[in-house]
Structure 1
Amino acid sequence: MNQDINIKKARTNCFRQSKVPGEFMLQMRVPGGFLDAAYLSVIEHIAKTWGDGNFHFGTRQTFDITGIPYGNIPAVNAYLEQYIREVDEQLCRVDLDTVSQEPQPWDPEGGYPTIGARNITACIGNYHCICANCNTFELARKIEPIIFPSHYHIKINIAGCPNDCNKAHLCDFGIIGVAKMTYHPERCIGCGACVRACEKGSTRVLSLNENTGKIEKDACCCIGCGECVRACPASAWTRQETKFYRVILGGRTGRQTPRTGKMFLNWATEEVVLSALRNWQKFSAWVMDYKPEYLHGGHLIDRAGYKKFKELILEGVALNPECLVAEDIFWQETEYRSNFNVKPMSLHHTAGPQ
């Protein structure tokens, strides 16, 4: 039976077109990529009832359920309503004080209302990882009601430490958990373990003073990774209680102009990060004259210019005393047409040994 298929409408509803005509893939949001295992039964039910029985762990940590016929989308959305209400409303919208913003009203009865703000991805963070400086999925859940739902596109990745396992440098708005360290010289035994750890795995800012037997630090280049804390056997290094973040801006993949993001904020508190993100939709609307297009954040920053972006995104944001803001940013993109002056290699067959 033939039917009209509105691909654009389905895509906005978070159903991606398949190479098989008439089939779609549902992308279920999982803010921060962390979820109660009980919800796996929901994924199984949708996949086996309306899909082809399979699902994919999406690159943005969504549950991607494949092989859903277009005609099954209304039934999937009806079943999905409870999941959305529990995951998006209960997990991400219950503690309004943490985001200082009323949740944007939307009814999940018809499924997801937009694909604009992509699922916020995160590494496991300090819920499990010994390297991490922050709880990444808790931060993701605080960000979720700020950016979603929205037709303005943004990709946000959160990494628990400067190892950046979650590729904060390759998205529109990358957030990295960093820590400021306190040195306790009275505990230091002068073993140099922290110096070796910093030398091997970080920015080599520590040195052992042979006269005093104590550690000296070039604080200007410390990236807040916490390797010194992990390495010290005497707890001479400890993380300060305040959580800090580094924000990376304008990174992206893609065929034409991929690039690594650059540092925008350093040593910012959680409230500063959330406050800046509260201005994201306003900035996006200004750039596109209140007419959303399918353009991600890095491209919008390019349109506005960094100076204008900084002005709008930090409007009304009270920076903490430690926070540093990039004066300017100069991105370096990969150019495919101008870097090479080599003629294509001609291919020909040669005769083999007779």
Structure 2
Amino acid sequence: MGNSANIRPSAEDIKRVKALGFLHDKNTEDCFNGRVITRNGKITADEMQAISEAARRFGSGEITMTTRLTCEVQKVPYANIEPMRAFLREHGLETGGTGAKVRPVVSCKGTTCQYGLIDTYALSMEIHERFFVGWNDQKLPHKFKIAVGGCPNNCVKPDLNDIGIVGQRVPAYDLDKCRGCKLCQIEKACPIGVSALQDGKIVHTAEQCNHCGRCVGKCPFGVVTEETRGYLMYIGGRWGKRTAMGRPLDRVFTDKDEVLTVIERALTLFRDQGQPGERFCDTVARLGFETVQNQLLAR
């Protein structure tokens, strides 16, 4: 740990540095754990080296990852906070990720994952720049979390965030082309069993389909093709002391800019119509899902 005088911070000091991304370590009198912002979990090797050096110089030499994919330098003495922030700024890095504002965006590795249906890295980077950075000075009623998932596997739990985005590949079925193969490739491909042979023919239960798209193109006779590829958006999810399952908006978006527009409308609605201290799920419940959806989807 870097040299520093032992300074016992006041309650006001603890509150002030929390807004900078430094949370008091309850096991110490004067140390804090400082959150270094990543781009949805992605950092360069040079940035990682700088964070590691910051941990050696100013903290305990240990780094943890938070659930919002920030790097948290452990046990930074109060006197080292500003020197550490200055060092990180020299390397293009910043601390933060706390407070009643847009929190760091998280995404899965859908861009490179075999199941990914959308470019999660590119979309989450746009959301990061436009809303985490661009809305940094906007005071909200409470924190606001956004997650981007590449497919319905939901690895980053998009439906438990204030807004969640899930990649979609909606199949189109032409059941007249089904030849009743004994070993049906569609049935074999469906991971949740909503497409299955019944009486020698494939039956697809569309209302239970999660649009993972794994059945598309599997039938050699062309029963399943791709109808739509896009984004499903959930609103009003949360986890923590109280949990709430987000509810999907009523359509699949095919235009990325529409997704960004809906996020901006949701943030604006929350800022202007949310009550102090309530989460977005509470705002949605109080105003009514249909009312909120109508505002988000207005032409």
TM-score range relative to shorter protein: 0.7 to 0.9
Which of residues 69, 72, 80 is equivalent to 2:77?
69
The Cα of 1:50 is off from its aligned counterpart by 0.6
Name whichever of 264-273 and 165-174 sits farther off. 264-273
8 Å contact from structure 2 (residues 194, 206) kept in 1:
no
Report Cα offsets for 1:99-152 as digits up to 9, x if no partner: xxxxxxxxx7xx549642111111110x32111211212111111133221432
The Cα of 1:70 is off from its aligned counterpart by 1.5
1:273-284 equivalence runs, <5 A: 273-284=259-270
Report Cα offsets for 1:274-322 as digits up to 9, x if no partner: 1111123321221247xxx55432233334433443344334xx4xxxx
Q: Is 1:250 aligned to 2:241, yes or no?
A: no
The Cα of 1:59 is off from its aligned counterpart by 1.1
Report Cα offsets for 1:48-84 as digits up to 9, x if no partner: 1111100111111111111111221211221222454
Report Cα offsets for 1:188-243 as digits up to 9, x if no partner: 99441112332xx2251454784xx8x5645444321012138x275945546x64
Q: Is 1:296 aligned to 2:284, yes or no?
A: no
8 Å contact from structure 2 (residues 58, 80) kept in 1:
yes
1:39 maps to 47
CA distance in 2, matches of 1:305, 1:12: 32
Q: CA RMSD in A?
A: 3.1
Q: How many percent identity over aligned positions?
A: 24
CA distance in 2, matches of 1:138, 1:158: 10
Give the AA of the match of 1:310.
Q
TM-score (norm 1): 0.68
Q: Is 1:24 aligned to 2:35, yes or no?
A: no
2:211 maps to 224
> Which structure 1 residue ranges, 5 or more long, are not aligned?
86-107, 319-354
CA distance in 2, matches of 1:42, 1:188: 61
The Cα of 1:3 is off from its aligned counterpart by 5.0
1:179-190 equivalence runs, <5 A: 179-181=169-171, 190=181
CA distance in 2, matches of 1:146, 1:265: 25
CA 1:28/1:162 → structure 2, altered by over 3 Å: closer, same or farther?
same
The Cα of 1:247 is off from its aligned counterpart by 1.3
Counterpart of 2:216 in 1: which secondary structure?
helix
Name whichever of 61-70 and 181-190 sits farther off. 181-190
Counterpart of 2:156 in 1: which secondary structure?
coil
CA 1:207/1:16 → structure 2, altered by over 3 Å: closer, same or farther?
same
1:52 maps to 60
Give the AA of the match of 2:123.
L
CA distance in 2, matches of 1:144, 1:265: 25
1:6 maps to 13
Q: Is 1:178 aligned to 2:186, yes or no?
A: no
> Which structure 2 residue ranges, 5 or more long, are not aligned?
1-6
1:190-339 equivalence runs, <5 A: 190=181, 191-198=183-190, 201-205=191-195, 207=197, 210=200, 217-229=204-216, 232=218, 234=220, 236=222, 237=224, 239=226, 243-255=229-241, 257-269=242-254, 270-288=256-274, 293=276, 295-315=278-298, 318=299
Which of residues 149, 153, 175 is equivalent to 1:159?
149
1:51-130 equivalence runs, <5 A: 51-84=59-92, 112=96, 115=99, 116-125=101-110, 127-130=111-114
CA 1:181/1:274 → structure 2, altered by over 3 Å: closer, same or farther?
same
1:96 maps to none
CA distance in 2, matches of 1:129, 1:233: 23
Give the AA of the match of 1:71.
A
TM-score (norm 2): 0.80
Give the AA of the match of 1:21.
E
8 Å contact from structure 2 (residues 35, 97) kept in 1:
no
CA 1:79/1:234 → structure 2, altered by over 3 Å: closer, same or farther?
farther
CA 1:60/1:221 → structure 2, altered by over 3 Å: closer, same or farther?
same
Aligned residue pairs total 280
CA distance in 1, matches of 2:277, 2:16: 13
Name whichever of 31-40 and 12-21 sits farther off. 31-40
CA distance in 2, matches of 1:243, 1:38: 36
8 Å contact from structure 2 (residues 40, 128) kept in 1:
no
CA distance in 1, matches of 2:151, 2:221: 20
The Cα of 1:245 is off from its aligned counterpart by 1.1
